[in-house]
């Protein structure tokens, strides 16, 4: 029940296209859903996050869509750029439990010029 | 404001040797974490400390010990290194339940090879 599933494992998108990464969870007690971006040789960096009281959050070209009833959330990268090429991780946590995060396995995104 | 710092950046050990990975944060965060990252496995939690003075096991704690030295510092110790502990180790911190920003902030990682 603690698992977070993530798909696809890898994704290739043309420059200017839309990249979509999906995640699903089982534990309905999760109440915080962040996305992290990781470049090779670096630590993951917090990209954008959402709480379950909203269905969508947008920051620049990055949007999280959240479907509470389906227990799914997704990251959309609009106008994808070669500089977006990285590994993306979704995660879930329960705020009241000291924020013990559960991570998805990651999606390697390649944006072709 | 350096965020989360880790030392060393790289380390090579022989089987059976011991070492301590150091982590410090300057964001006044309550919670700190140690993860390992292996190819195709994502991030796996080794230990975490929800607040100063407390530590708890994560998903893969065997072969590791931790110390929350104070609010800023959280160290990870390998008492007798094994080749299976070859990995990249990340330290992270978050505000926890203190009401601050809720995301985790990661250090740059320590790349450990055990021969």
Q: Which of B29, B92, B102, B109 to mutate to test the interface with A (most CBs of A within 10 A)?
A: B102
Give A53-71 pLDDT, tens digit per residue: 889 999 999 999 999 999 9
pLDDT band at A26 (very low <50, low <70, confident <90, very high): very high
Beta strands A107-112 and A10-14 are parallel
Cα(A50)–Cα(A46) distance, integer angstroms: 12
Q: From the CA of B115, how many Å to the nearest CA of chain A?
A: 21
Cα(B2)–Cα(B43) distance, integer angstroms: 23
**Residue of A29, A8, A32 lying closest to A20 (CA atoms):** A8
**Cβ contact A101–B33 (<8 Å):** yes
Asked if residue A1 has pLDDT above 60, the reply is no
- Contact map slice: B 56-115 vs A, CB within 8 A: 56, 58, 90, 92, 94-97, 102-109
Dihedral of CA A9/A12/A15/A17: which sign? negative
Chain A CB contacts of B107 under 8 Å are: 43
Are residues A103 and A89 in contact, defined by beta-carbon separation less than 8 angstroms?
yes
pLDDT band at A81 (very low <50, low <70, confident <90, very high): very high
Q: What is the dihedral of CA A38, B80, B17, B44, to 10 degrees?
A: 0
Say whether A105 sits in a helix, a strand or coil: coil
Q: What angle do CA B59, B42, B2 make, to 5 degrees?
A: 90
Cα(B20)–Cα(B92) distance, integer angstroms: 16
Cα(B44)–Cα(A51) distance, integer angstroms: 23
> pLDDT truncated to tens, each residue of chain B (115 aa)?
779 999 999 999 999 999 999 999 999 988 899 999 998 778 999 999 988 889 999 889 999 999 998 999 999 999 999 999 999 999 999 876 655 557 889 999 999 999 9
Looking at residue B100, its pLDDT comes to 54
Q: What is the dihedral of CA B52, A101, B89, A35, to 10 degrees?
A: -130
Residue with tokens 């999280």: A64
Looking at residue A64, its pLDDT comes to 95
């Amino acid at each position: 029940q603690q698992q977070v599933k993530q798909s696809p494992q890898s994704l290739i998108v043309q420059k200017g296209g839309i990249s979509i990464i999906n995640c699903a969870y089982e534990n309905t007690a999760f109440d915080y859903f962040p996305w992290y971006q990781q470049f090779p040789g670096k630590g993951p960096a917090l990209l954008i996050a959402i709480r379950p009281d909203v269905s969508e959050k947008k920051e620049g070209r990055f949007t999280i869509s959240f479907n509470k009833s389906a227990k799914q959330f997704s990251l959309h990268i609009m106008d994808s750029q070669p500089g977006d090429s990285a590994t993306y991780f979704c995660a879930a946590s329960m705020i009241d439990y000291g924020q013990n995060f559960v991570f998805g396995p990651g999606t390697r995104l390649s944006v072709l010029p | 404001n350096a965020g989360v710092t880790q030392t060393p950046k790289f380390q090579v050990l022989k089987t059976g040797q011991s070492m301590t990975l150091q982590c410090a944060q300057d964001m006044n965060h309550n919670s700190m974490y140690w993860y390992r990252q292996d190819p195709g496995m994502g991030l796996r939690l080794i230990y975490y400390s929800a607040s100063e003075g407390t530590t708890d096991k994560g998903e893969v704690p065997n072969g590791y010990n931790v110390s929350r030295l104070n609010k800023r510092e959280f160290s990870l110790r390998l008492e007798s290194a094994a080749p299976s502990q070859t990995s990249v180790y990340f330290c992270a911190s978050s505000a926890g339940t203190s009401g601050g920003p809720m995301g985790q902030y990661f250090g740059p990682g320590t790349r450990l090879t055990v021969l």
